[in-house]
Chains A and B, each alone.
Chain A
Amino acid sequence: MALPPPDPQFVLRGTSAAVHTLHFSCGGPERDIPLLFSGSENGFIHVWNLKTRRVDTALDGHGRKSVYCVETMGGKDRLLSQGRDQRICLWDLAEGRTSVTDSVFTEHVGFCRCSLLKVAQGRWLMAMAARSLEEVQILELPSKTSVCTLKPEVGAKLGMPMCLKLWQLNCDSQPVLLAGYEDGSVVLWNVSMGKALSQLICHQEPVMSLDFDTEKAKGISGSSEKVLSIWSLNEQQNLQVYKTHELVNAGISDITIRPDKKILATAGWDHRIRIFGWKKLKPLAVLDYHTATVHCVSFSDHSNPQQRLLAAGSKDQRISVWSIYAQT
């Protein structure tokens, strides 16, 4: 007899707007306060103290336009946020400051979240959708120099890039980018050479979100239809479909694989969070708490596995935080 799904460990209220993005920062030393960053539709970034479960700071840097991506850059003192005001802001949050140190004007009017990759100490690569419809630009941070622009060939008709993931196999290898596009295909780009290595049509509808497991060279993508697509990368750097999984209700906003690569979580338009085992995509749980579309899910980076959490942000303005499969 299977147990009923667990309830959230706690729920964070107080954003007063739909939550679009979440990012944990709990990996620091023991005495550091575990934090959760959330970006909302009203343009605020809230810094939640997970001990007190209250907002420590609210950052207003996007002119009240929706914030749809937040990431930390090497610790909780440096934050990157992306908003609908077409800007990416870099924040300095050390010692209680809340200032924007730098910003990049992307001229991108869509919703494609940028992707960060640390390539060396103090050097980052950032992939973001650019002004031109189908292009992805790679910038180096903090210098903001353009590394390359990834343009699909003429007539490819991929549409807008919808989601990006920069990764590299290990510190010495070339960085590559996985990009999901509006026409339902996922393209693997070689960043240094600026050309596409492989393209795979995974969905009939736009790819809403994707995540990739570098160790197993396997990735998963979700779309606005009912199918989750799992694909793999072979030695020739070619993408192949591995399997597909049909969902009960259509529409996935976000997918994320837990850092230990054991489970993954999907945020659905049907208000539900689904947990699957990563190895075989075995459905494990359906968490039904929210009353509106779930926009984002995120796993925490706690060093103590027992404390690991899963957070989900929804249009109903709540952030639910769960402790699930933390014992393994």
Chain B
Amino acid sequence: VCFIPDGLDCSISFVSHVLGKVCVHGRQKEILGVLVPHLTDLTKSDCIWQRICWRLVECVPDRWMEAVVLGFVQRAPGADVLSRLLGNLVVKNRKAQFVVTQKMLLLQYGHTTAVLQNLLGYLSLDSLRRTLLLRVLQELLETWSSSSAVKHSPAEQQLYISKAILICLSHLKEPEIESCRQELLTSMMEGVKCHLDSSLTQLRRLGMVVAESISSKINTEGPVLKFEYEEDDETRELKSLLVQTPPFCVVPSLPDDDRSEKAGAALPLVPESSEKPHTAAPAMPDEELDAELDSDDDLTPYDMSEDKELKIKTPVYIRDCIEVLTGSRAEDVDKWEATVKALESLVRKNPAATREVSVELAKILLHLEEKTCIEGFVELRQRAQVAILTTDPIPVAKYLTSQFYSLNYSLRQRMDILDVLVLAAQELSCPKFHGKTKHSGAQKPCIQLLPGSDSSKDWRRIVDERIKSKTRRFDMGRSHVELASCPNEFNSVAGHFFFPLIQHFDRPLTTFDLLGEDHLVLGRLVHTLAILMYLAVNTVAVTAMGKALLEFVWALRFHTDSYVRQGLLSCISSLLLSVPTDRILADMTEELLETQSWLGDVMEKDPDGDCRRLALQNLLLMENLKKKLEAVPS
């Protein structure tokens, strides 16, 4: 379609109709692909063309307005271009206003950052439209700070809204910020609270970044809010939105939903070569000849062979360790430090001695607090606990699982108990080569400062591997090395780890309510149970564990916390992978059918992306099961 510039007062409503009809039929790309560049050039300096363009879009009938506006916003190469093309359409036309200020920002979330920049930039470029910008910001903040939105909307939508808020903030001028400072502050406080409550790392980080940005905008002098979090691509991208780039450079559209790549992956910091800023001047050479007589030669040195490094004696006996760790004498701090460092290896070298005092040691370690500043104290303590648990599994597991449900422990201690149980289970269930365990385990022995949403990632990897291993291969491939077999130590104790944990989850205590506020611990518990189930493959108790786990999952399947739901779906995965097929089919058929329909529901309707993926994987596993059944000749 090409325009004849004749300057006549022509009616272009026909063209508007055509445009509208084409757009609403889904051909926005084709027609606007041609139209928009033309119009961009034409309207660059020519007012008449600008007015023609405005008339063009204004005359589009309401029923097709949305498609047209959407198309323009997406195709325009920049906010200023959009401003030239659409003019004050959003102010004059109610439908356009609705699309731009409500639909594209609050109801949809699939648009790229560039589109957001266009849209919000467009709103900011004219004084008539700026009131809309403020209104948009307020509504975005309302959504951002509502706790139900944070809990139930998908992470991608929350990311989108956060981006929109940051771009809005970047466009606001001082007087405007002044006028809405109070509301900004209130929303920020409420929003930060909801975000930090969430169990998902990404949401917490989003909350922190947005809150920091809002705080920096409203407190230009004085201290601003500063959180500590790991920077990654997402946070950097978000922060870059706060600063507006000059109008003529096109913002490249950045990928929005790379969660799987970004989770937990911080860019490695360039290690700064720590050059010690040593001496100010070069050292004088030692070989400078001493002309004077060396009267030092008269002084004969004494025997200094005894002069060695001062070593604190580490205890050699387990009972000595107990004495040192429970002793309260302040002077023995050196000995205390040495004991903590040496404890794990002592426990492993003296299994018989450890078994005599295992529960006592476990108790001491559970309550052990850092007396002095040792590097890696938490890890040392955890490894010692794991060592004790693997040396004497049954009594210590009994003790730890009972303490998990006791009063007067902090959440951190309860989660530590879960970590220790998992690490010990891992160690016990693996065949040992050269004394090292070779599991691509779900949890690494390190400090888990954030709830292991990592575990769900690793789960996917493990489940993928297992699915691959179960697919039929026509080619044998290289022969793999035969692993040395040895008895499965986890077999006799799996039940002791698993059942006490699953027993009391619905009984609230005064300070600890799994089904209530402590859903973080519940999430960790569910993940722990999934791992224990997975590690119990080939044990005798696996079927009973499977049944109990299935009941547990069924009771909690509608939990509102997405971290818990992810855990529940992992439980199903490990169940399907660990319990032998014939036992599943013999004992659990009806429950599994019900589970299957629940999984279908989750896959379609769950707001969390990870949950949907896990549900899909579970359904695939179930399909595999069915196929196996059918493949077996009856």
Check A241 for interface membership: any CB of B closer than 8 A. Answer: yes
Chain B residues contacting A288 (CB-CB under 8 Å) are 306-307
Indicate which residue in A6, A272, A277 contacts B299 across the interface (CB closer than 8 Å): A277
**Contact digits for A26-46, partner B, Cβ 8 Å, 1 yes 0 no:** 000000000000000000000
Chain A residues with CB under 8 Å of B296's CB are: 262, 277-280, 282
In contact, A286 and B304 (Cβ under 8 angstroms): yes
Q: Does A3 contact B (CB under 8 A)?
A: yes
| A227, chain B: closest CB distance, angstroms | 11
Q: Which residues of B contact A286 (CB under 8 A)?
A: 302, 304, 306-307
Q: How many residues of A contact B (CB 8 A)?
A: 37
Distance between A53 CB and nearest chain B CB, rounded to angstroms? 25
Question: B302 contacts which chain A residues (CB < 8 A)?
Answer: 2-6, 284-286
Give every chain A residue within 8 A of B284 (Cβ-Cβ): 232, 240, 242-243
List the A side residues contacting B290 at CB < 8 Å: 279-280
* Interface members, chain A 212-243 (any B CB < 8 Å): 232, 238-243
Does B277 touch A at the CB level, under 8 Å?
A: yes
Residue B6 at the chain A interface, CB threshold 8 Å: no
**Does A328 sit within 8 A of B, measured CB to CB?**
yes
A109 and B125 alpha carbons, distance in the complex (Å) = 61
Q: Which 9 A-B pairs have the closest CB atoms?
A: A2-B303, A277-B296, A285-B302, A286-B307, A241-B279, A240-B281, A5-B302, A270-B310, A279-B296
Given known contacts A2-B303, A3-B303, A248-B309, A328 and B279 CB-to-CB distance under 8 angstroms: no
How far is B299's CA from A282's CA once the two chains are assembled, in angstroms?
10
- Chain B 268-327 interface residues, beta-carbon cutoff 8 Å to A: 276-284, 286, 290, 294-296, 298-304, 306-310
Question: Which of B281, B283, B296, B303 has its CB near the most chain A CB atoms (within 10 A)?
Answer: B296
Docked CA distance A2–B306 (Å): 12
Proximity string of chain A (231-271) to chain B, C-beta cutoff 8 Å, 1 when within and 0 when not: 01000001111110000110000000000001100000011
CA distance A204 to B309 in the complex (A): 21
Report yes or no: A201 in contact with B277, Cβ–Cβ below 8 A.
yes
Q: Which residues of B contact A63 (CB under 8 A)?
A: none
Least CB distance from B290 to A in Å reads 8
Q: Which residues of A contact B (CB under 8 A)?
A: 1-6, 199-202, 204, 232, 238-243, 248-249, 262-263, 270-272, 277-280, 282-286, 288, 325, 328
CB-based contact B303/A284 at 8 Å? no
A204 CA to B295 CA, complexed, in Å: 33
Contacts of B286 in A (CB 8 A): 243
B276–A204 touching, CB < 8 Å: yes
19 contacts between A and B (CB under 8 A): A3-B302, A5-B304, A6-B302, A200-B279, A200-B281, A201-B277, A201-B280, A202-B279, A243-B283, A248-B308, A248-B310, A249-B310, A278-B296, A279-B290, A279-B294, A279-B296, A282-B296, A283-B301, A284-B300
Inter-subunit contact B280/A240 (CB<8 Å): yes
Q: Known contacts A248-B308, A249-B310; is A282 also within 8 Å of B279 by CB?
A: no
Q: A204-B276, A272-B307, A279-B295 are in contact. Are A242 and B301 (CB under 8 A)?
A: no
Q: Which residues of chain B have C-beta atoms less than 8 A from A4's C-beta? A: 302-303
How far, in Å, is B289 (CB) from chain A's closest CB?
12
C-alpha spacing A284/B282, complex, angstroms: 27
| Least distance between B294 CB and chain A CB atoms (Å) | 6
* Nearest B residue (CB) for A327: B298
Q: How far is the CA of A279 from the CA of B281 in the complex (A)?
A: 21
Task: Out of B280, B294, B301, name the residue touching A285 (CB < 8 Å).
Answer: B301
Contact of A5 among B281, B299, B303 (CB under 8 A): B303
Interface of chain A: mostly helix, strand, loop or mixed: loop
A201, B279: Cβ atoms closer than 8 Å? yes
For A243, the chain B residues whose CB sits under 8 A away are: 283-284, 286
Q: How far is the CB of B296 from chain A (nearest CB, A)?
A: 4
Q: Closest Cβ of chain A: how far from B293's Cβ, in Å?
A: 10
User: Within the assembled complex, what's the spacing in Å between the Cα atoms of A241 and B278?
Assistant: 10
Residues of the A chain whose Cβ atoms lie less than 8 Å from the Cβ of B310: 248-249, 270-271
Q: Find out whether the CB atom of B307 lies under 8 angstroms from the CB atom of A238.
A: no
Question: Which residues of B are in contact with A by a Cβ distance under 8 Å?
Answer: 276-284, 286, 290, 294-296, 298-304, 306-310
A1 and B304 alpha carbons, distance in the complex (Å) = 11
Q: In the complex, A4 Cα to B281 Cα: how many Å?
A: 39
Please tell me if the beta carbons of B299 and A284 are within 8 angstroms of each other in the complex.
yes
Nearest chain B CB to A178's CB is how many angstroms away? 15
Chain B residues, CB < 8 A from A6 = 302
Q: Is the beta-carbon distance between A328 and B299 smaller than 8 angstroms?
A: yes
Residues of B within 8 A of A239 (CB): 280
Do B281 and A238 touch (CB < 8 A)?
yes
The answer, among A2, A199, A272, A328, for a CB contact under 8 Å with B301, is: A2
- Note all chain B residues with C-beta closer than 8 A to A270: 310
**Which residues of the partner chain B approach A249 to less than 8 Å between Cβ atoms?**
309-310
Which residues from chain B contact A201 at a C-beta distance below 8 Å? 277-280
Chain A's closest residue to B288 (CB) is A242
Q: Output the least CB separation between A274 and chain B (Å).
A: 8
- Known A-B contacts: A240-B282, A280-B296. Give 5 more (CB < 8 A): A201-B279, A240-B284, A241-B280, A241-B281, A279-B294
Assembled-state Cα–Cα distance A240/B278 (Å): 11
> Please, which residues of chain A bring their CB within 8 A of the CB of B304?
2, 5, 283, 285-286
Q: Tell me the bound Cα distance from A280 to B290 in angstroms.
A: 10
B283→A325 contact, CB < 8 A = no
Cβ of A238: which chain B residues have Cβ within 8 Å of it?
A: 281
Known A204-B276, A270-B310, A283-B304: A328·B298 in contact at CB below 8 Å? yes
Q: How far is the CB of B277 from chain A (nearest CB, A)?
A: 6
Known: A6-B302, A243-B286. A280 touches B294 (CB 8 A): yes
In the bound assembly, the distance between CA atoms of A204 and B278 in angstroms comes to 8
In angstroms, Cα B307 to Cα A279, docked, is 22
Q: A174 to B294, alpha carbons, bound, how many Å? A: 31
Smallest distance from the beta carbon of B329 to chain A beta carbons, Å?
15
In the complex, chain A residues whose CB is within 8 Å of the CB of B276: 204
Once bound together, how far apart are the Cα atoms of A241 and B310, in whole Å?
28
B385 → A minimal CB distance (Å): 32
- Please name all residues of chain A whose beta carbon is closer than 8 Å to the beta carbon of B281 when the two chains form the complex: 200, 238, 240-241
Q: What's the least CB distance linking A216 to chain B, in Å?
A: 11
| Docked pose: A277 CA to B295 CA in angstroms | 9
Residue among A6, A199, A232, A325 facing the most chain B CB atoms (10 A cut-off): A325
B309 touches A262 (CB 8 A): no
Complex formed: what's the CA distance from A240 to B306 in Å? 33
Q: Whole-angstrom distance between the alpha carbons of A286 and B306 in the complex?
A: 8
A263 and B283 contacting across the interface, CB-CB below 8 Å: no
Closest Cβ neighbor of B305 among chain A residues: A2
Q: Measured between alpha carbons, how far is A285 from B305 in the docked complex, in Å? A: 10
| Cβ contacts under 8 Å, A262 to chain B | 295-296, 299
Distance in Å: Cβ of B314 to nearest Cβ of chain A: 17
A33 to B408, CA, bound (A): 67
Most buried by A among B282, B283, B286: B283
- Measured CA separation A262–B308 after assembly (Å): 25
Whole-angstrom CA separation of A280 from B281 in the bound complex: 20
Name the CB-closest residue of B to A282: B296
Residues of B within 8 A of A5 (CB): 302-304
CA A272 – CA B277 in complex, angstroms?
A: 30
User: Beyond A249-B310, A270-B310, is A199–B300 a contact (Cβ under 8 Å)?
Assistant: no
Residues of B within 8 A of A202 (CB): 279
Does the CB pair A2–B300 fall under 8 Å? Answer: yes
Contacts of B280 in A (CB 8 A): 199-201, 239-241
Note all chain A residues with C-beta closer than 8 A to B282: 240
B308 and chain A: residue at smallest CB distance: A248
Distance A277 CA – B303 CA, assembled complex (angstroms)? 15
- Chain B residues with Cβ below 8 Å from A278 are 296
Complex: how many Å from CA A193 to CA B362?
A: 66
**CA–CA, A1 to B305, complex, Å?**
11
Chain B residues within 8 Å of A279, by CB: 290, 294-296
Beta-carbon contact of A325 and B299 below 8 Å: yes
Q: Bound complex: CA of A272 vs CA of B309, how far in Å? A: 11
Q: Which residues of B contact A328 (CB under 8 A)?
A: 295, 298-299
